[in-house]
Chain A
Amino acid sequence: MAKEYSLKNIKIDHEYDVHQELALPPVNEFKRFAKVFFRRPIVGVGFAIVVLLLIAGIFADQIAPHDPYLINLFNTFDAPSARYPLGTDAIGRCLLSRIIHGTRLALLTGVSTVFISATIGITIGLVAGFGGRVAQEVVMRLTDAWISIPAIIIMMLLGAVLGRGIGGMTIAIGVTMFPAYIRLVFGQVLTVKQNDYIMASMAMGDSKVRIVLRHVLPNCLAPIIVVMTMMMGGAVMAEAGLSFIGLGMDPPTPAWGTMTNDGRQWLASYPHLSLAPGAAIVLLVFGFNMVGDGIRDALDPKMRGTLN
């Protein structure tokens, strides 16, 4: 480190006798990001959990020891064994296989929900931010209305309208979560609009679309990414909650929430039937939250340069 700051890097311009700025070595943005991101061990743990669950979800068919839908009524409530690592449930299905296949569902819900809500929210926020007063007023009123209905009621209704599969649930949850992005993007647009470079770009005759795509959107990207990762955990929890009260994914889909609820009937004698899928939910939500925390720190301009 010390070497880079040595006199060798200070070039003195003899003609004007002016010291040029210290020529610092170029910063590798990715390395810097990774350094801040993994600064806290707990974030590393969360990241590892997400990666592991991602692998489990993608390769569920290869990893799961049994068919998650295969019913075997001669083998119910089997204790954990080498053949069934977590035992079997009330109708003899392999619990571990169901949890592994549930991982795929949970990850799909988390990721696609967030992308749906981000796309809707960002678009509306940008339009409102650059639209006239009427557009702003209408968007803000509608957003207020949407926020005032308890989210769970919208989810239940939309889930019922769209059908209780992965597609329906994803849209139902995604549509309840978009107002957060509207507020974020809208506020950001209003701030960015004040900058001189926007004025310059307008003076140069750039179209609104170009200004939005070239100047406004890149400026909002960091907070949007942070909110997106933070919301993945929330989306997973929302889907699990709906499935738990029987208004989410339809059985026999191996959704973690449904499994937690199914196992509840045998809580006294076979608590793991309910607690194991529950633990999977906690792990994934924890992982998402920690990754979100890490990304927030790593994208925070205040943290820039502190850990070069």
Chain B
Amino acid sequence: MMVNFIIRRLINSVFLVLLVSMIVFTLIRMVPGDPLSALVDAEQQRLIEGGGGMDPEQAQQILDDLRAQHGLDLPIPIQYAQWLGNMIQGNFGRSIVRGFDIATEIGRRMPITLYLGLIAFIVTNIFGIFWGVIAAVRNGTVVDNVVSGVAILGMTVPGFLMAVVLMYILSFTMEWLPLHGFNLPWRGDIGVSVRSTVMPVMVMTFGGIAGMSRQCRSSMLEVINADYVRTAWAKGMREKVVIFKHVLKNGLMPIVSMQGGMIAGIVGGSVIVETIFNVPGVGSLVVDSMTQLDYPVIQAVTVMFTFITVMANLVVDLLYGWVDPRIRHS
């Protein structure tokens, strides 16, 4: 049964990723402008500054040649079929504008994005659940009010603004943390790496912690007032047993279903965070490629991002069925 379910979901996921790649492939070719004509224009500009310059027909000829070389002169469905065939064989292609091999580039950048994302994921869960549980257990006290107030703030302040404020306080005023850049701890100085992790992770987690602690607080409160918990208290069980065995176990159920959305949020958030902090990850690659309209890079990264989101959702659904026996998949 379980194996069946997983296989069906995997097949669904494959179709989903295909559909997404089709949407992106078409959309990106509808963007006005063309990465190659920008290249040719830049070359023309360089030649003119050097006192020379191509005549327009020659420039057009070069442009046509380039388009043919990258297969951009073919109808979109055929381009898509070619691209898909290459993707399936593991050939991500080359960047049109900058010429690098996309698979190598993503392989170099992906660990950074995954590393930061994983830390953000763990931090969000730990703090979100911790503060949510505390606020619920101490319902109506100062602690509860403070947690709820900060949570409202967390849902109100956009990530990029949080980044600017943190940069101002921690980098400029206090001079504690580096402003830009990031490297993995095993690829350089560990101290520098840890210090440059702090701000991006804070920005990536603040909103998530706020949302999660709110959700956690309300679902815990629901459970705390449930009949079986009152019974547990009435039986004279110790506080620890009641809270951990009865309240936490049931109250954290909705938190599991939140994980999928949270992972999508972290993946999407990496785009903005990496751009602000100049982190050489996949997120900043997307933004660079978008400004240069580097078709194959955007396609490859979107497919990767979608794949990660879809797989994360699958794992979450499986976990949910495992945690909550009432929702065994039929």
Contact pattern, A 160-187, Cβ under 8 Å of B = 1, otherwise 0: 1101000000000000000000000000
Contact of B212 with A by CB under 8 A: no
A241-B309 Cα distance, complex, nearest whole Å = 21
Contact of A1 with B by CB under 8 A: no
Task: For chain B, residues 92 to 141, give those with C-beta under 8 angstroms from any C-beta of chain A.
Answer: none
Contact of B323 with A by CB under 8 A: no
Given A241-B160, A268-B172, the answer on whether A150 and B268 have CB atoms closer than 8 Å is yes
Contact, CB under 8 Å: A150 / B267:
yes
Contact pattern, A 137-160, Cβ under 8 Å of B = 1, otherwise 0: 000011011111111111011101
Q: Which residues of B contact A (CB under 8 A)?
A: 15-17, 19-20, 23-24, 27-28, 30-32, 152, 155-161, 164-165, 167-168, 172, 264, 267-268, 271-272, 275-276, 286-287, 290-291, 293, 298, 302, 305-306, 309-310, 313
* Cβ–Cβ < 8 Å partners of B291 in chain A: 246-247
A157-B272 Cα distance, complex, nearest whole Å = 15
A289-B155 Cα distance, complex, nearest whole Å = 9
A150-B272 Cα distance, complex, nearest whole Å = 12
> Chain B interface mostly helix, strand, loop or mixed?
helix
Given A158-B27, A247-B291, A278-B164, the answer on whether A148 and B310 have CB atoms closer than 8 Å is yes
Nearest residue, chain B, Cβ from A293 = B152
Contact, CB under 8 Å: A275 / B268:
no
A145-B298 Cα distance, complex, nearest whole Å = 17
A46-B19 Cα distance, complex, nearest whole Å = 41
* Known interface pairs A144-B16, A158-B27, A247-B290; 14 further A-B residue pairs with C-beta atoms within 8 A, sorted by A's residue number: A148-B313, A149-B306, A149-B309, A150-B267, A152-B268, A156-B287, A156-B290, A161-B30, A240-B160, A241-B160, A245-B272, A245-B275, A275-B165, A282-B158
Contact, CB under 8 Å: A160 / B290:
yes
Contact of A274 with B by CB under 8 A: yes
The listed residue (A151, A268, A278) touching B165 by CB distance below 8 A is: A278
A289-B19 Cα distance, complex, nearest whole Å = 34
Nearest residue, chain A, Cβ from B313 = A148
What range describes how many residues of A lie at the interface? 35 or more
Contact of A121 with B by CB under 8 A: no
Nearest residue, chain A, Cβ from B157 = A282
- 23 A-B contact pairs sorted by A residue (CB < 8 Å): A141-B15, A147-B264, A148-B264, A148-B306, A148-B313, A149-B20, A150-B268, A150-B305, A153-B305, A154-B27, A157-B28, A161-B30, A240-B158, A241-B158, A241-B160, A244-B276, A245-B287, A260-B161, A261-B160, A271-B172, A282-B157, A282-B161, A289-B155
Contact, CB under 8 Å: B160 / A149:
no
* Cβ–Cβ < 8 Å partners of B16 in chain A: 141, 144-145, 148
The listed residue (A154, A156, A237, A289) touching B152 by CB distance below 8 A is: A289
Contact pattern, A 283-302, Cβ under 8 Å of B = 1, otherwise 0: 00110010000000000000
The listed residue (A156, A233, A275) touching B168 by CB distance below 8 A is: A275
Given A244-B272, A264-B164, the answer on whether A149 and B305 have CB atoms closer than 8 Å is yes
Separation in Å of the A187 CB from the closest CB of chain B? Answer: 15
Nearest residue, chain B, Cβ from A274 = B164
For the complex of A and B, list the 5 residue pairs with the smallest distance between their C-beta atoms, beginning with the closest: A150-B268, A278-B161, A160-B31, A145-B19, A237-B158
Nearest residue, chain B, Cβ from A257 = B160
Separation in Å of the A151 CB from the closest CB of chain B? Answer: 6
Given A141-B19, A152-B272, the answer on whether A281 and B290 have CB atoms closer than 8 Å is no
Separation in Å of the A137 CB from the closest CB of chain B? Answer: 11
Contact pattern, A 235-276, Cβ under 8 Å of B = 1, otherwise 0: 001001100111100000000010011001001100100110
Nearest residue, chain B, Cβ from A151 = B268
Contact, CB under 8 Å: A281 / B275:
no
The listed residue (B264, B287, B293) touching A150 by CB distance below 8 A is: B264
Contact, CB under 8 Å: B20 / A148:
yes
Separation in Å of the B297 CB from the closest CB of chain A? Answer: 12
A145-B24 Cα distance, complex, nearest whole Å = 11
Nearest residue, chain A, Cβ from B290 = A156
* Cβ–Cβ < 8 Å partners of A278 in chain B: 161, 164-165
Contact, CB under 8 Å: B164 / A233:
no
Separation in Å of the A95 CB from the closest CB of chain B? Answer: 15
Separation in Å of the B299 CB from the closest CB of chain A? Answer: 11
* Cβ–Cβ < 8 Å partners of B275 in chain A: 245
A282-B157 Cα distance, complex, nearest whole Å = 6
Given A148-B306, A244-B160, the answer on whether A153 and B167 have CB atoms closer than 8 Å is no
Separation in Å of the A16 CB from the closest CB of chain B? Answer: 42
Nearest residue, chain A, Cβ from B302 = A153
* Cβ–Cβ < 8 Å partners of A240 in chain B: 158, 160-161
Contact, CB under 8 Å: A267 / B31:
no
Contact, CB under 8 Å: B30 / A245:
no
Nearest residue, chain B, Cβ from A160 = B31
Separation in Å of the A229 CB from the closest CB of chain B? Answer: 14
* Cβ–Cβ < 8 Å partners of A289 in chain B: 152, 155-156
Separation in Å of the A301 CB from the closest CB of chain B? Answer: 18
Nearest residue, chain B, Cβ from A242 = B272
Separation in Å of the A174 CB from the closest CB of chain B? Answer: 15
A146-B19 Cα distance, complex, nearest whole Å = 9
A240-B168 Cα distance, complex, nearest whole Å = 19
A237-B157 Cα distance, complex, nearest whole Å = 8
Nearest residue, chain B, Cβ from A271 = B168
Nearest residue, chain A, Cβ from B264 = A150
